[in-house]
Amino acid sequence: MRRVADTDDAITDAVASYLAERGHGGDGNTVVAPADVDARWLGSFEDAGGEVLQDSASAPLSVADLDRVDAVVTASFCSVAESGTILLAGPDSGRRAATLVPDHHVVVVKVADIVELLPEAVTRLTDAGLHTSPVTMVAGPSASVDIELVRVQGVHGPRTLDVVLAG
Cα–Cα distance measured from residue 26 to residue 11, given in angstroms and rounded to the nearest whole number:
17
Give residue limits of the domains in the chain.
2-166
Which pLDDT does position 24 carry in this prediction? Answer: 85
Q: Are the beta carbons of 4 and 165 closer than 8 angstroms?
A: yes
Q: Which segments of the chain have a pLDDT < 70?
A: 92, 94, 154-155
Which pLDDT does position 94 carry in this prediction? Answer: 61
Query: What's the CATH number of domain 2-166, 3.90.600.10, 3.40.50.10420, 1.20.120.1690, 3.40.47.10?
Result: 3.40.50.10420
Closest CA to 167 of 2, 49, 3, 1: 3
pTM: 0.90
Cα–Cα distance measured from residue 6 to residue 139, given in angstroms and rounded to the nearest whole number:
23
Cα–Cα distance measured from residue 140 to residue 158, given in angstroms and rounded to the nearest whole number:
11
Which pLDDT does position 42 carry in this prediction? Answer: 94
Angle CA 159–161–165, to nearest 5: 180
Which pLDDT does position 154 carry in this prediction? Answer: 62
